[in-house]
C-alpha cells in the first residue's frame, strides 16, 4: 500500500458502504469485495471510508482503524483514500486524524461536531479544525451542512475558517440551497489556492454540477460510481445531451435512495447492492432497521428503470 501523496480532493469520489454480518460485526470479506468493485469504476479520484455511508456513528475507534486498513490493502495503490473525522469533541477528532494518516489516508473529511447544533461561531470552528490540522499533515475537506441544522458554516464563518486553516482544500457541499451552493462555487473555487467544491447534492446532481463544481462526493457512488463519473465528465465537456441521458438513468435511483426518512439512504443502497448481487446481505446497525418488503420492491423497480437490472433478473430475484 502506498499513500497517494500530494492528493487534492477533486473529481468523482465514491463513499463506500460497510457490510455487516448477521451478528452486526464487520463483514470484512464483503467489504473487500465491495471496495474492489467500486474502485474498478473508471474515472474515480478517490474513495471515502468512515463517513455517513459506512455508518461511522455506530463504529468504534478500533473498527474505524480496521476499515481503513482493509481499504488501504485493497485499493490504496489504485486510489486516494479519504477518511472521515466524526467526533463530538476536538481531542477525539485529532486522535482519529492521527490514526487515519498512519493508516494511509490521503485526505480527511471533517464532519461538524454535534454540539454545533446548539450554536457555533467562527472561533469554535477554527479551534476544531486547527486541532485536526495540527494532528495530521493532510488536506482537509470541510463538510458543509445546511445552515438550518446549526452545523452549517455561514459565509463569514466559512471564509474566516479557510483563511485560518489553509490545509482545508475542499468542501463537501450539502448546503441544500441553490443560491448558497452557487455562492460556494463562485467564491471558493476562485480563491488562491482553490478550495474545490465537491457536490453531495445527489438528489439533484446534474443541476448541481452544471454550476461548476470541481467534483462530487456521494454515497450513491457505492452503487453507481460509473454513472456518476460519466455524468461528471459529460458536464465538464459541456455535452448537455449526454448529461441529460445519464441523468435520466440516475434519477430513478436518486428518488428511491433520497426519499424520507433520509437517514435510510445508505440502508437503501445496501439493499440495491444485494439486488445486484454485489453484497450477500443488507444488514444495518441499530437504530437503523431492515427495510420493509414494499420499499425493497421500489428499489428493485428503480434499478430496472436505471438499466442496472433487467426485468427478467428482477423477476427471478423476487
| pLDDT tens digits, one per residue of 186-239 | 999 999 999 999 999 999 999 999 999 999 999 999 999 999 999 999 999 999
Query: What pTM value is reported for the model?
Result: 0.96
- 252 part of a folded domain: no
* 260 inside domain: no
Q: How far is CA 123 from the centre of its chain?
A: 27
* Position 278 in a domain: no
Structural domains in the chain (count) = 1
Residue pLDDT, tens place only, 227-248: 999 999 999 999 999 999 999 9
Give a yes or no: residue 315 inside a domain. no
Residue 308 falls inside a structural domain:
no
Q: Facing residues of 172 across strands?
A: 143, 198
CA dihedral 90, 92, 95, 97 (to 10 degrees): -60
Structure-derived torsion over alpha carbons of residues 102, 38, 215, 260, reported in degrees to the nearest 10:
-110
* Domain CATH code at residue 25: 3.20.20.70
User: Per-residue confidence at 5, pLDDT binned at 50, 70, 90?
Assistant: confident
The per-residue pLDDT for range 235-288, each reduced to its tens digit, is: 999 999 999 999 999 999 999 999 999 999 999 999 999 999 999 999 999 999
Residue 111 inside a domain? The answer is yes
Question: Does residue 103 fall inside a structural domain?
Answer: yes
Give pLDDT, residue 4. Answer: 73
pLDDT level of residue 315 (50, 70, 90 thresholds): low
- Does residue 48 sit within a domain? yes
Q: Are 184 and 171 in contact (CB under 8 A)?
A: yes
- Host domain of residue 69: 11-237
Amino acid at each position: 500500500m502506498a499513500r497517494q501523496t500530494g492528493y487534492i480532493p477533486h473529481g468523482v469520489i465514491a463513499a463506500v458502504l460497510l457490510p455487516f454480518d448477521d451478528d452486526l460485526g464487520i463483514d470484512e470479506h464483503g467489504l473487500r469485495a465491495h471496495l474492489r468493485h467500486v474502485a474498478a469504476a473508471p474515472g474515480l479520484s478517490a474513495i471515502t471510508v468512515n463517513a455517513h455511508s459506512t455508518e461511522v456513528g455506530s463504529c468504534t475507534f478500533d473498527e474505524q482503524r480496521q476499515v481503513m486498513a482493509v481499504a488501504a490493502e485493497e485499493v490504496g495503490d489504485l486510489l486516494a483514500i479519504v477518511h472521515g473525522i466524526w467526533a463530538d469533541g476536538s481531542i477525539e477528532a485529532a486522535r482519529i486524524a492521527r490514526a487515519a494518516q498512519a493508516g494511509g489516508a490521503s485526505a480527511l473529511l471533517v464532519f461538524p461536531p454535534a454540539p454545533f447544533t446548539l450554536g457555533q461561531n467562527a472561533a469554535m470552528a477554527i479551534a476544531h479544525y486547527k486541532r485536526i490540522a495540527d494532528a495530521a499533515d493532510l488536506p482537509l475537506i470541510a463538510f458543509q451542512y445546511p445552515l438550518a441544522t446549526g452545523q452549517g458554516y455561514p459565509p463569514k464563518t466559512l471564509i474566516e475558517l479557510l483563511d485560518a486553516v489553509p490545509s482545508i482544500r475542499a468542501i463537501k457541499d450539502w448546503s441544500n440551497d441553490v443560491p448558497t451552493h452557487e455562492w460556494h462555487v463562485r467564491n471558493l473555487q476562485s480563491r488562491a489556492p482553490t478550495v474545490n467544491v465537491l457536490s453531495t447534492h445527489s438528489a439533484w446532481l446534474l443541476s448541481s454540477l452544471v454550476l461548476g463544481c470541481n467534483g462530487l462526493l456521494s454515497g450513491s457512488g457505492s452503487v453507481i460510481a460509473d454513472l456518476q463519473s460519466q455524468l461528471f465528465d459529460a458536464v465538464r465537456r459541456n455535452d448537455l445531451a449526454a448529461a441529460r441521458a445519464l441523468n435520466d438513468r440516475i434519477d430513478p435511483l436518486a428518488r428511491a435512495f433520497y426519499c424520507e426518512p433520509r437517514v435510510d439512504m445508505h440502508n437503501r443502497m445496501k439493499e440495491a447492492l444485494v439486488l445486484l448481487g454485489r453484497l450477500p446481505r443488507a444488514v444495518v446497525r441499530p437504530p437503523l432497521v431492515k427495510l420493509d418488503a414494499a420499499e425493497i420492491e421500489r428499489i428493485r423497480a428503480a434499478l430496472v428503470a436505471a438499466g442496472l437490472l433487467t426485468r427478467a433478473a428482477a423477476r427471478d430475484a423476487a
